[in-house]
Amino acid sequence: MAQRASKKSADPVANQTSAQLVRDLHERMVRIRLFETEAGKLMEAGKLPGFLHLYVGQEAVAAGVMAALRDDDQITSTHRGHGHAVAKGVSFRHMYAELYGRVTGACLGRGGSMHINDVTLGMLGANGIVGAGIPIAVGAAFAARYKDEDSVAVTFFGDGATNIGAFHEAANMAAILRLPVVFVCENNGYAEFTPQSKHMLITDVADRAAAYGMPSVIVDGMDAAAVHSAAAEAVARARAGEGPMFIEAKTYRYYDHQGVKGLRHPYRSDAEVEEWKARDAIDLLEARALADGTATRAELDDTWQRTRDEIAEAIAYAEASPLPDTADLLLNVYSG
Amino acid sequence: MTTITEAPALAPDGTARKLTYVKAFNEGLAQAMREDENVFVAGEDVAGYGGVFRMFDNLLDEFGPRRMIDTPISEAALVGLGVGAAARGLRPVVDLMFMDFIGVCLDQIVNQAAKMKYMFGGSVSVPLTITTASGAGLGAAAQHSQSLEAWLAHVPGLKVVMPCDAYTAKGLTVSAIRDNNPVVVMLNKVLLGSKSEVPEQIYGIPLGQAHIARQGSDVTVIALGRMVGEALAAAEELAAEGVEVEVIDPRTVQPLDTETMIASARRTNRVLVVHEAVTFGGLGAEIAAQIQDAAFDHLDAPVLRIGAPFSPVPFSPVLEKAYVPDQARIVRGCRRLLERA
Ligand SMILES: Cc1ncc(C[n+]2csc(CCOP(=O)(O)OP(=O)(O)O)c2C)c(N)n1
C-alpha cells in the first residue's frame, strides 16, 4: 500500500501577539453581541418566524474557542448556535437571511435559526435536538484522522445536554478511539427553566469526563482569554493525537431560554442576572485591554461601529432577499 | 372495542363552557390525577414551569412534587421510567414536549413499552401515557414540526390518539390515562390556543371509535388531528355549491375505527383522506387500502390521499404553508373525486 503524505496545514493561530489575540477575541464577541441583540429586536418586532435562542452573555466561550481554531477545524453546535456560527465566521448576510426564511439564507430558508451551518468554514450546524451534535463531532474527528488530516473537531453543548445518552456514548467513543475532539460544555446553570442543581447532583459537569478517562479543565466562561488558553491547549493536544479533552466553561445567558422577554414564571432572580452582567465578558476584556494598553478606546469603538454598519447592511440584504420558491419544495431532500 | 365512559352531550343551546385546547387537556389530566392516586406526571420542565406549552400549569400546586416530577433532558430514561413504573402498577404520564424528540427514545417506546405485555405472556400491562406536541405551522422547522403518527401506529402494542379540538383533547387524554396500554397522545401545536365547548365533569372518549364530525352524502373526507378543522371549513365552502361533504375524525389512529369509515364510503361512494404527515407510507395509505378492500364495489373513484410532500418540514413560512395541507387543497381533492363519476 502506498504511503500517504500527511496533509498538515500551517496554523495561523500560533504566533499571534497578545495584542492581536485581544483584538481578535474582542471582535468575535462584539460581532456575536450585536448580531444577537439585533436578532432579538427583529423577533420582538414580529419580523422573524420560529424560535430564537439567544446566546448573549456566553460570548467569551465561542470567541475563546474559535480563536484557537483554524477554518478547517470542525464544530457542531446546539439550539443556541448563533454565537458559534458568528465566531466561526459565518456571514451576517447568510445568517440574517436564514432567520428571515429567505432563499439567500445559510440553509436556503429551509433550516431557520436552529440549523444554521457553513460547511466551508467547518460549521457542521446548529441542532434542534439536544445533545445530537456531540456524536457528530466525534464522527468529524474520526474522518480527520481517517484522512490523515490534522484538523480537530469541537462540540459545544450545555449543562443540560450532558444528561442525554448521546453525550455519554460519544464521550466514551471519543476516548477509547483517542479522537481529536474537544468537548466544550457551556454551563450557563440552566436547562430551559431548570437550574443545574435540579437536573444533576454534581457541581462541576467536568466531573463527568473522568468517567471516560478524559482529562478536563474548568474555566471562567466570562473570561475570553482564559477560555482561549484552555481551548488552545486542548486543541493542541487533540491535533497532536493525544485524544479528546473536556472543557467546562461557567457562563450565563442574559435573555430568556427562548426569545427575549422575561417570563411569567420566575425561575431565576433579576439580582442573579445583574450579578452576572456585572462581570460581562466584553466589559471585562475591554477594561483589561485599556488598562494594559493593548487597545485604545477608539480602536474598540471602531470595532463596535464597523460591526453595527455591517449588521445594518446584512439585515437590509436579508429583507430585500427573495423568498424560496414553493416549486422547489423537494429541493435537497436527497443528494445526486 | 371497549367503550369507556361515554362522553356527555354538550348543551344544545351552545351555552356550554368553552376552553382552549391546552386548558382542556390540563383539566382532563388534573381530573384523572384526582380520580386515581397512581397517576403521576414526569417530564422536562413540567412541574416547576408548567410545561413549555403550558400543558401542566398549576398541577404542581395541587399535586405536589411526589406526583409532578421535573426530569433531566434524558428522554430514554424518562420513557423507561414510565415503562418500569407502569409495570409496577402506576399510571405514568410522561411528556416528550416535541414529538420529534421520540427519535432519542424510540427503543423504550417501540421495543419495550409496546411489547412488554406480549413478550411476558400477558403477565403484565403497561398503562403508560406519553404526551407530546406534534405538527407544523409555527416555523419550528424540520426537527420540531413532525407528525410521526404512522411510525407509532405501525407498532403492535401501542395506541395513538390525535385530538382535533379542546373537547376531544380532554376526553382522549382521560381515556389514554385510564387505558391499560401505552397510549401516545399527540396534541397539535397550532391548536393549543383554539377554543371549543368542554363539559366540566371528567369524561373519556372511547379509544378506537371514530366521530362523524359532519354528515354529508356526496364525499367522505377522513381527516386526522388538525386537518379536521380544515376539512370542516372545506365542507362549508362546498356546501355553498350544493356539495354535501361528510367529515370523519378517527380520533384514534391506533386502534383505527375503519368500520365507520367503510360505512360512510358505502353511502357517499367517494373518499378523501387527509393528514399533515407525509403522504408516503402515511395513515392515508392504510385507510385507503382498507376502504378499497371492503367497499370497492361502492366506490365511484379511487380513494384519494392528501398529505405533505416527501420532504422534511421546511422553515420558511412560505414553504411551510405550501407544505401543510389546507382547506383549499381539500376542496380541490373533493372536486377531483366528484369529476370522476
Ligand atoms: C432531545 C431534546 N429534548 C428536549 C429538547 C427541548 N430543549 C431545547 S433546549 C433545552 C435545554 C437545553 O439545556 P442546555 O443543554 O443546558 O443548553 P442551554 O439551553 O442552557 O444553552 C431543552 C430541554 C430538545 N430540543 N431536544
For residue range B235-261, what is the model confidence (pLDDT) as tens digits? 999 999 999 999 999 999 999 999 999
Nearest neighbour of A101 by CB, restricted to B77, B101, B318: B318
For position A10, what pLDDT does the model report? 53
- Average pLDDT over chain B reads 96
B203: which residues sit within 8 A by CB, 6+ positions away? B5, B6, B7, B8, B170, B171, B174
Q: What is the pTM of this model?
A: 0.95
Is the predicted pLDDT of residue B7 greater than 80, yes or no?
no
Mean pLDDT over A60-69 rounds to 98
Is the predicted pLDDT of residue A264 greater than 80, yes or no?
no
Catalytic residue among B6, B44, B62, B144: B144
Distance from CA of A204 to the nearest CA of B (A): 16
DSSP sequence for A183-238: EEEEE-SEETTEEHHHH-S-S-TTHHHHTTT--EEEEETT-HHHHHHHHHHHHHHH
Q: Sign of the CA dihedral B220, B225, B229, B234?
A: negative
- Number of Cβ within a 10 Å radius of residue A102: 23
Summarised one tens digit per residue, pLDDT across range A27-52 is: 999 999 999 999 999 999 999 999 99
3-state secondary structure chain B: CCCCCCCCCCCCCCCCCEEEHHHHHHHHHHHHHHHCCCEEEEECCCCCCCCCCCCCCCHHHHHHHHHEEECCCCHHHHHHHHHHHHHCCCEEEEEEEEHHHHHHCHHHHHHHHCCHHHHCCCCCCCCCEEEEEECCCCCCCCCCCCCCHHHHHCCCCCEEECCCCHHHHHHHHHHHHHCCCCEEEEEEHHHCCCEEECCCCCCCCCCCCCEEEECCCCEEEEECCCHHHHHHHHHHHHHCCCCCEEEEECCEEECCCHHHHHHHHHHHCCEEEEEEEECCCCHHHHHHHHHHHHHHHHCCCCCEEEEECCCCCCCCHHHHHHHCCCHHHHHHHHHHHHHHC
Summarised one tens digit per residue, pLDDT across range A147-159 is: 999 999 999 999 9
Mean pLDDT over A253-261 rounds to 93
Interface contact A259, partner B, CB < 8 A: no
Sheet of B304-308, strands arranged across: B211-214, B245-249, B219-223, B271-278, B304-308
Is the predicted pLDDT of residue B226 greater than 90, yes or no?
yes
Mean pLDDT over A79-100 rounds to 98
Is the predicted pLDDT of residue B2 greater than 60, yes or no?
no
Interface residues on B facing A, Cβ-Cβ cutoff 8 A: 44-45, 48-50, 52, 70-77, 100-101, 103-104, 138-144, 309-312, 314-319, 322-323
**Residues of chain B with C-beta less than 8 angstroms from the C-beta of A330:** 309-311
For position A16, what pLDDT does the model report? 76
B111: which residues sit within 8 A by CB, 6+ positions away? none
Question: H or E stretch including A250?
Answer: strand A245-250
For position A12, what pLDDT does the model report? 53
B75 is catalytic: yes
Summarised one tens digit per residue, pLDDT across range B143-175 is: 999 999 999 999 999 999 999 999 999 999 999
Check CB contact under 8 Å for B319 and A107: no
Q: How many Å apart are CA A80 and CA A123, to the nearest integer? A: 14
Of A16-25, A255-264, A315-324, B16-25, the range with the lowest mean pLDDT is: A255-264
Residue B125 confidence class, pLDDT cut points 50, 70, 90: very high
Interface contact A168, partner B, CB < 8 A: no
Residue A85 confidence class, pLDDT cut points 50, 70, 90: very high
Nearest neighbour of A267 by CB, restricted to B44, B49, B312: B49
| Residue B8 CA, ligand 1 centroid: distance in Å | 40
- For a mutational test of ligand 1's pocket, the pick from B71, B73, B131, i.e. the residue with the most ligand atoms closer than 8 A to its C-beta, is B73
Is the predicted pLDDT of residue B4 greater than 80, yes or no?
no
A331: which residues sit within 8 A by CB, 6+ positions away? A108, A110
For position A9, what pLDDT does the model report? 53
Residues 174-203, chain A: which have Cβ within 8 Å of B?
191-194, 198-200
Taking the alpha carbons at both ends of chain B, their separation in whole angstroms is 35
| Residue A161 CA, ligand 1 centroid: distance in Å | 6
Contact B78 CB / ligand 1 (< 6 Å): no
Is the predicted pLDDT of residue A261 greater than 90, yes or no?
no
Nearest neighbour of B73 by CB, restricted to A114, A191, A323: A191
Mean pLDDT over A42-65 rounds to 98
Check CB contact under 8 Å for B73 and A165: no
* Contact in structure between A77 and A125 (CB atoms under 8 Å): yes
- CA neighbours closer than 13 Å in the CB half-sphere of residue B225: 30
Dihedral angle of Cα A134, A138, A140, A144, to the nearest 10 degrees = 150
Is the predicted pLDDT of residue B57 greater than 50, yes or no?
yes
For position A266, what pLDDT does the model report? 83
Residue B16 confidence class, pLDDT cut points 50, 70, 90: confident
Q: Identify from A167, A194, A264, A268 which residue to disrupt to test chain B contact, counting B C-beta atoms within 10 A and taking the largest count.
A: A194
Check CB contact under 8 Å for B142 and A102: no
- Is the backbone peptide bond immediately before B302 cis, with ω within 30 degrees of 0? no
* Total beta-carbon pairs less than 8 A apart between chain A and chain B: 128
Catalytic residue among B27, B75, B230, B286: B75
Mean pLDDT over A137-166 rounds to 98
| Nearest Cα residue in chain B from A79 | B143
Check CB contact under 8 Å for A194 and B70: yes
Is the predicted pLDDT of residue A237 greater than 90, yes or no?
yes
Long-range contacts (CB closer than 8 Å, 24 or more residues apart) made by A143-146:
A144/A74, A144/A180, A145/A179, A145/A180
* Contact in structure between B183 and B159 (CB atoms under 8 Å): yes
For position B340, what pLDDT does the model report? 84
- What CA–CA distances, in Å, run from B228 to B222, B234, B301? 8, 10, 22
**Residues of chain A with C-beta less than 8 angstroms from the C-beta of B144:** 51, 114, 128
Mean pLDDT over A64-78 rounds to 98
Is the predicted pLDDT of residue A174 greater than 90, yes or no?
yes
- What CA–CA distances, in Å, run from B69 to A47, A216, B51, B96, B125? 36, 32, 11, 13, 23
Check CB contact under 8 Å for A50 and B323: no
| Residue A82 CA, ligand 1 centroid: distance in Å | 15
Interface contact A256, partner B, CB < 8 A: no
Residue A336 confidence class, pLDDT cut points 50, 70, 90: confident
For position B1, what pLDDT does the model report? 33
Above pLDDT 70, what percent of chain B? Answer: 95
Is the predicted pLDDT of residue A238 greater than 60, yes or no?
yes
Mean pLDDT over B222-235 rounds to 98
Nearest neighbour of A101 by CB, restricted to B309, B310, B317: B317
For position A4, what pLDDT does the model report? 44
For position B339, what pLDDT does the model report? 95
Is the predicted pLDDT of residue B294 greater than 70, yes or no?
yes
**Residues of chain A with C-beta less than 8 angstroms from the C-beta of B329:** none
A211: which residues sit within 8 A by CB, 6+ positions away? A168, A171
- Average pLDDT over chain A reads 95
Check CB contact under 8 Å for B104 and A131: yes
Nearest neighbour of B143 by CB, restricted to A103, A114, A198: A114
Is the predicted pLDDT of residue A119 greater than 60, yes or no?
yes
Is the predicted pLDDT of residue A1 greater than 60, yes or no?
no
For position A263, what pLDDT does the model report? 60
B6 is catalytic: no
